[in-house]
Structure 1
Amino acid sequence: MRRTKGTGSIVRRPNGRFKATITVSGGKRVSKTFDTREECQKFFMDIKGKDIKYFSPVTVAEYFEHFIELKSGVYRESTLNGLKQFYRKHVENSKVAHIKFSDLTPQDINRFFLGLSSRGYATTTLDRWRKNFKAILETAVLEGYLENNPMESRQAIRRLKGRQERQKKVFSLEEVQKLLSIENLSTLPVVYQVYIVLSFITGARPQEILALTREDIKEDKVSFNKSLGFQGKLQETMKTSTSIREVPIETKWGLWLLDKITEEKTAGIFRSEKSTYGYLSHDNVNVRFKKYVEAVLGSSKGHHLYDTRHTYATLLITVFHVDVKTVSVLMGHSNIETTLKYYTHSLPTCHMTLPV
């Protein structure tokens, strides 16, 4: 039923709870979530006519829920789902979740993150979560929920130390030659042959490769314009605007790929009826890839799918002497600093060419 203007609005949320919103003196919009409509009505009666310094959500958990709702349709689906995962797994049932939002201190946040750092998470993961938390509180300041961001305080922890992230292991050119040998590739099912070749000759992210269709692959180039997101669900948006790109490939490889894809007789190269969203699982490909590397190179060196992306950038820069700006564009990076800082590794000089 439509409510009279000025008496507040009640909206039922996907989780079954009711969000009550009303404008109070000073033009502030007050909102809070309840289990029943009756509680919403009581909230309107209690808050109407009051001049309040802070407006609801009251607790940290309530603000996180508000923020997630606020960013629905704004953030990429995978980004939003990652935020939801962090909230549900680490924030929702924590002590910090029940602290009154306006009373949140740097010490509260420090204790929360120190607790996470003791659980064996990688330093980079902790840093990402901390930056996200800080950005959320910054939004709260802009919305008027807080006067200042407690994570900007001198008492706030600046750096969290966790488990060291797995070091990226770049393949040498000789190893790439072996892995791309047609004789060795033929020991794999066609779909894995295609994935491995694409990963080495384009340097694309695994989720970009798995989203490819036949139309994206030409004799001389591969077009990347979509990717798989959270739990392997196809999303039309890319990680960044620069991720939409065309990567040139040797014609011989292009013809080989088109020939192999034709054998599969499917528009979606990496489609799978067994998965939730219809695409080959990233984890399954990773298991196959590691077994293949071990079989071809003779020993397990702890390689992962993303190592092909690092190998691509490193070989182009250190072996084939392609300028960094060009490599950055081919990788889909927003700036060359990312390419240099994270994707360029030392490698013995070698003047051999890739097999075709």
Structure 2
Amino acid sequence: MLEKDKTTKKWRARIFFKGRQITMQTFEFKKDAAKWEADQKLALASNEWHDARAGDITLAAVIREFNEARTGTVSDKTLDTDEANLRLHIPEKMRRMPIRAVQTAELKSLYTALLRKRAHSTVKRIRDSTMSLFNYAVDMAYIPHNPVKDVPVPRGDGRSDKTVRPFTKDEYEDMLAAQRERSPRYADYVEFLRETGLRWGELVALRVGDVVHEPFDAIIVRRSQSDGYAEKQTKSGRVRRVPLLGNAAEIAARYAQGRKRTERLFTSPTGAQLNGGNFKRALDWAATAHGHREYDLRHYAATSWLRDNVDIKTVSAWLGHATTQLTLDTYSHYMGSDADGAAIERVRRARATAGA
């Protein structure tokens, strides 16, 4: 945008980006102002523009601005996660740097250092937060390019936290018996999680009306609610139907009896919304769960289905995974092929014959 100052008689060129003025220069002659304006617009169009003055803003200042700008535009959980990741894991030395000075070398050093103390999946989540931060900096024209895109998280040794560790049959039965002595109500919820493979937040958000009986006993999983946050869509964003196997149908019927369709299916003993911390304290989870997490009930459900020869596509749908490939990547080593079964049977017959 070109305009002539009536007082100084000079030409002012102003550049706007997404409705916000990002830079301005004054010139003696209109042709110089027009050329400068054209150069800036070309740089913007080719993603090569940056304001050297804006680049002097520190990383800490951009983090503060980033957190404030997203309040009310993303979920509270996302906001809290990104704020905590950036506050706890970005070192003070890096925070004092101008944002334009934070390049791939600094980021690679950061992720490598974090991997020495943190699990691989945790470092990936921290990288996701820094990715969002630097995307914001690009949008605000503080920098011309997001350097995080050029720095994947090294493999590291922390990938072991991805290991699936479902309960064994004996571990689960021992735990459930011990937990029934402490809280029969919450032990029912443990059994329901094991039979359905639900995530904790999905269990919390279930309503009485989500229990259906046609064409078979099932629950319709529509939403999720993490402790301390508002209700939202499920992780995959899809509604799914999960069959009520084992004692799950009886458990659902018992807690739905005489209640309105819109009421929560599972609540605390006082009728309040479930809270994960209170749930585990009531069950004395640390003492009864053989070192397992509550999430391992989901793994136990999935691996049990696979061992019962439920096909991978159906298991993926029941779990609510975004893709079947995710289910394969997570549980493939728990799947036995028909060829495996036939080979094992041949070995057994051969050994039985040899021993005869």
User: Is contact 1:171-1:308 (8 Å) kept?
Assistant: yes
User: Is contact 1:222-1:247 (8 Å) kept?
Assistant: yes
Q: For residues 305 and 252 of structure 1, do their structure 2 counterparts lie closer, same or farther at Cα, with a shift above 3 Å needed?
A: closer
RMSD: 4.0
C-alpha separation in 1, matches of 2:112 and 2:286: 39
Amino acid at match of 1:170: P
Name the counterpart of 1:222: 219
- Aligned match for 2:295, one of 295, 300, 306: 306
Q: For residues 325 and 289 of structure 1, do their structure 2 counterparts lie closer, same or farther at Cα, with a shift above 3 Å needed?
A: farther
Deviation at 1:282, TM superposition (A): 1.6
Name the counterpart of 2:33: none
Amino acid at match of 1:312: A
Name the counterpart of 1:213: 207
Name the counterpart of 2:64: 65
Deviation at 1:85, TM superposition (A): 1.6
User: Is contact 2:166-2:296 (8 Å) kept?
Assistant: yes
- Aligned match for 2:194, one of 182, 196, 200: 200
Name the counterpart of 1:78: 77
Name the counterpart of 1:124: 121
Name the counterpart of 1:94: 92
Q: For residues 257 and 97 of structure 1, do their structure 2 counterparts lie closer, same or farther at Cα, with a shift above 3 Å needed?
A: same
Deviation at 1:327, TM superposition (A): 1.0
- Aligned match for 1:267, one of 263, 267, 270: 263
Deviation at 1:133, TM superposition (A): 1.7
C-alpha separation in 2, matches of 1:347 and 1:237: 30
C-alpha separation in 1, matches of 2:259 and 2:81: 33
Deviation at 1:26, TM superposition (A): 2.2
Q: For residues 264 and 94 of structure 1, do their structure 2 counterparts lie closer, same or farther at Cα, with a shift above 3 Å needed?
A: farther
Q: Which runs of 5+ in 2 are unaligned?
A: 4-12, 27-35, 41-49, 342-356
Q: For residues 222 and 168 of structure 1, do their structure 2 counterparts lie closer, same or farther at Cα, with a shift above 3 Å needed?
A: same
- Aligned match for 1:172, one of 168, 171, 175: 168
Name the counterpart of 1:233: 229
Deviation at 1:126, TM superposition (A): 0.8
C-alpha separation in 1, matches of 2:192 and 2:125: 29
How many residues were matched structurally?
299
Name the counterpart of 1:329: 317
Q: Which runs of 5+ in 1 are unaligned?
A: 1-5, 7-23, 32-43, 295-299, 351-356
Q: Map 1:238-249; keep pairs closer than 5 Å.
A: 238-242=234-238, 244-249=239-244
Once the two structures are superposed, what CA deviation does each residue of 1:274-299 show, in whole Å capped at 9, x if it has no partner? Answer: 9xxx63332343455564983xxxxx
- Aligned match for 2:16, one of 10, 16, 27: 27
Q: For residues 188 and 257 of structure 1, do their structure 2 counterparts lie closer, same or farther at Cα, with a shift above 3 Å needed?
A: farther
User: Is contact 2:179-2:283 (8 Å) kept?
Assistant: no
Which of 160-169 and 80-89 deviates more?
A: 160-169
Name the counterpart of 2:106: 108
Deviation at 1:185, TM superposition (A): 6.5
SS at match of 1:222: strand
User: Is contact 2:188-2:251 (8 Å) kept?
Assistant: no
Amino acid at match of 1:113: Y
Amino acid at match of 1:116: L
Larger radius of gyration: 2
C-alpha separation in 1, matches of 2:190 and 2:335: 21
Once the two structures are superposed, what CA deviation does each residue of 1:299-342 show, in whole Å capped at 9, x if it has no partner? Answer: x631110101111111111x211111111111111101111112
Once the two structures are superposed, what CA deviation does each residue of 1:146-180 show, in whole Å capped at 9, x if it has no partner? Answer: 22232345xx4641636542743212346556666
C-alpha separation in 1, matches of 2:287 and 2:240: 28
Name the counterpart of 1:282: 276
SS at match of 1:232: coil
Deviation at 1:234, TM superposition (A): 3.3
State percent identity of aligned pairs: 21
Q: For residues 282 and 227 of structure 1, do their structure 2 counterparts lie closer, same or farther at Cα, with a shift above 3 Å needed?
A: same
C-alpha separation in 1, matches of 2:300 and 2:64: 40
SS at match of 1:316: helix
Q: For residues 225 and 72 of structure 1, do their structure 2 counterparts lie closer, same or farther at Cα, with a shift above 3 Å needed?
A: farther
SS at match of 1:259: helix
